[in-house]
Structure 1
């Protein structure tokens, strides 16, 4: 009975727009317990994870009498098909590929709702379901690996044979006892490219990472970004793709199967200077449909300021001075002060005068500290030129 239903689901999944589907048991994920506890003890977690450990390990803690878990994957693009405009006076930033197009949470939820509706229409069982995407209790990659969709690479991402790691994952717990598929074992072999190319050395090499050092995490924090990480994000204003781009399993992978995932140039690669003056309404209109908008405009504006310094866009100095003068948020003002100092040429007397005058107006200690550091940097440059 359930074997026949499983075959119907497999046959229908492509018509539903599901690129990969697999089944596993609802047995506990106890093999993860020691690793999760060690990561938390080491301070390697991001804080975005579900906080109740038992609910991450035991499906029966979050679903009454679970029998199976259905895992699905949707492939997303790795390249923008249109030509991105290039203009040195309008330098662009980048959203990571997982934030291109419409927020994947909505796309996956829609697909899982369609799948649940199909299953209900094809079984007489009193079936129950709990769909989850990313923010659910279970580990998406652990479920997908055990359900045979792919293996977990050294970078902690699920790597599929057909699409590499450019996939969104979701899972559905159910009380239907489907036969499980065969898990996929790690195939990284001796390759350590993701570990070697990670700029802040966040990857531990065994599928785990120090999330506090991950550049994707750094772009999503709400406070000031530590200066150590600022040059490492380059022109990225949300997320990080480096460990995916260097992975041999991703070579040549670029799927355009879902129109809702197609990136728009002005969303995926926005002009950096245009980011700095957005109102809340304008931000929601321009970026509200992206997964990368979930933390709001403040972190993205901070990242855009850092990116302007990284790409050495000196045409941004006037707008950065306006930010220092007028923006009500101390962290944004402090980041703009740092960027102005990074962009300043030697003997920038006018800039130093501006910063010194602003010292007398500024009340926030974070901004005052940034002003002092910037003035010191400019003064050191002048002294070096005169020596």
Structure 2
């Protein structure tokens, strides 16, 4: 088998099926990465969503029998909506980050990887594969960097010369020995715009992220959001685009190559108030196809409450008061109490005083007491 010829055939086929970038890397252990991952754990900077076993994250042989190479792919996604909807007083809207626009990217990339596997198998029946997208053991960015897809930017994203950092990544370990591609030279230079713009200082330094402070991570948690971060959330419902939006390499980057990635403006910028009472079935019907729905409705609803406080949306007070009075989830009641106090006014104060008479959950009572204290200042 001439693997150089096969490599070129794979590259040509990848373009036919809508893969925007493809690269080939060795399956050697990611030794430098291991030190960084250990350090992240020691500092408690990891998000907790990652594979816990660092050995599996850095050694392909731990998860695949006799790996010979890794094929990395990237698909470019849009950064602008074709149809824009705007919120206004009385009709405030939240926003899902760009990486949640359109169909769940895990589904899209797995489809491309499956097609690639089938093509290679038709050429080499004894070929074996292990494909993964985001939730696998390997670190997508490390594989993409080694395969020459792009360089690892200071914003902790892979930045490609062609599409900036607006790309989804996936990879495939295989037992076939492809010639590896050359990594791309890093081009961030002295630029620190992403670090400077990070709303919560989560980018500790170039290429190092404290996930526990990252808004993209915080929007996915299900408990009370620590108060120090609430005012930084703005109207974000899921994810955060700031460190990508300010990157000079992303200037003018907007690609609409894949129909399934096109956003529905009403879904990615939904009205906030209706989200407070949305049921599970309706939530799944409306948002279930998006990657931003993977944690369920609870984080989205909590974030919608915080967003209404961000806008100081007085017209939403009756809805927030209803949540405070009726929602069975302490996180929702407590967050609503905080939001009601933020919006302020006599109606807000009366609602908090009434809620205090009946509330038994200690965390919710704490939010109510803090809210009343701020209103009495």
Tell me if 1:21 matches 2:18.
Answer: no
- 2:111 equivalent in structure 1: 110
Matches within 5 A, 1:1-387: 1-124=2-125, 126-345=126-345, 348=346, 350-380=347-377
Report the Cα distance in structure 2 between the residues aligned to 1:339 and 1:352, rounded to whole angstroms. 12
CA deviations over 1:290-341 (Å, ceiling 9, x no partner): 1010111001100000001112211110100000111000110000000000
Report the Cα distance in structure 2 between the residues aligned to 1:299 and 1:203, rounded to whole angstroms. 23
- Asked if structure 1 preserves the Cα contact closer than 8 Å seen for 2:56 and 2:62, the reply is yes
Report the Cα distance in structure 2 between the residues aligned to 1:255 and 1:60, rounded to whole angstroms. 36
Report the Cα distance in structure 2 between the residues aligned to 1:237 and 1:339, rounded to whole angstroms. 15
Moved more, 295-304 or 356-365: 356-365
- 1:384 equivalent in structure 2: none
Give the RMSD, CA atoms, in angstroms: 0.9
Report the Cα distance in structure 2 between the residues aligned to 1:156 and 1:375, rounded to whole angstroms. 40
TM-score by length of 2: 0.98
- Asked if structure 2 preserves the Cα contact closer than 8 Å seen for 1:5 and 1:123, the reply is no
CA deviations over 1:226-261 (Å, ceiling 9, x no partner): 111111110111000000000000000000000100
Report the Cα distance in structure 2 between the residues aligned to 1:369 and 1:9, rounded to whole angstroms. 60
Give the aligned length.
Answer: 376
Give the superposition deviation at 1:166: 0.3
Report the Cα distance in structure 2 between the residues aligned to 1:327 and 1:178, rounded to whole angstroms. 57
* Runs of at least 4 residues off by over 6 Å: none
CA deviations over 1:198-221 (Å, ceiling 9, x no partner): 011111223120011111011011
Residue 13 of structure 2: SS of its match in structure 1?
helix
Residue 281 of structure 1: SS of its match in structure 2?
helix
- Asked if structure 1 preserves the Cα contact closer than 8 Å seen for 2:163 and 2:250, the reply is yes
- Asked if structure 1 preserves the Cα contact closer than 8 Å seen for 2:85 and 2:266, the reply is no
Structure 1: runs of 5+ lacking an equivalent: 381-387
Report the Cα distance in structure 2 between the residues aligned to 1:178 and 1:38, rounded to whole angstroms. 32
Structure 2: runs of 5+ lacking an equivalent: none
- Asked if structure 1 preserves the Cα contact closer than 8 Å seen for 2:195 and 2:243, the reply is yes
Give the superposition deviation at 1:122: 2.0
CA deviations over 1:52-77 (Å, ceiling 9, x no partner): 01101100000000000000000000
Residue 256 of structure 1: SS of its match in structure 2?
coil
TM-score by length of 1: 0.96
Residue 230 of structure 1: SS of its match in structure 2?
helix
Report the Cα distance in structure 1 between the residues aligned to 2:313 and 2:151, rounded to whole angstroms. 41
Report the Cα distance in structure 1 between the residues aligned to 2:203 and 2:8, rounded to whole angstroms. 39
- Asked if structure 1 preserves the Cα contact closer than 8 Å seen for 2:272 and 2:308, the reply is yes
Report the Cα distance in structure 1 between the residues aligned to 2:204 and 2:172, rounded to whole angstroms. 30
